[in-house]
Amino acid sequence: MDDSQLYTNALLSHLSLTYYGHRLANEQYTVTLHFAKIILRNNHSFQSLGRRIFDVFIQDVLVLPDFNIENVAHGVDKAVVQKLNTLVKNNTIEIRFYWAGKGTRAAAQEAIPQGNKI
- The CATH code of the domain that includes 15 is 2.60.120.430
In a domain, residue 75? The reply is: yes
Per-residue pLDDT, averaged over 7-30, amounts to 85
In a domain, residue 116? The reply is: no
Q: Which structural domain, as residue segments, surrounds residue 11?
A: 4-110
The count of domains in the chain is 1
> What is the predicted pLDDT for the residue at 75?
79
In a domain, residue 79? The reply is: yes
Counting DSSP H helices and E strands in the chain, the numbers are 1, 8
Q: For residue range 40-78, list pLDDT tens digits in order.
A: 555 544 444 556 689 999 999 999 999 988 889 887 778
> What is the predicted pLDDT for the residue at 39?
66
Q: What are phi and psi of 89, to 5 degrees?
A: -125, 155
Q: Looking at the DSSP assignment, which residues form a beta bridge with residue 12?
A: 109
Q: For residue range 91-117, list pLDDT tens digits in order.
A: 999 999 998 777 655 544 444 445 444
Nearest to 21 by CA among 68, 86, 83: 86
> What is the predicted pLDDT for the residue at 102?
75
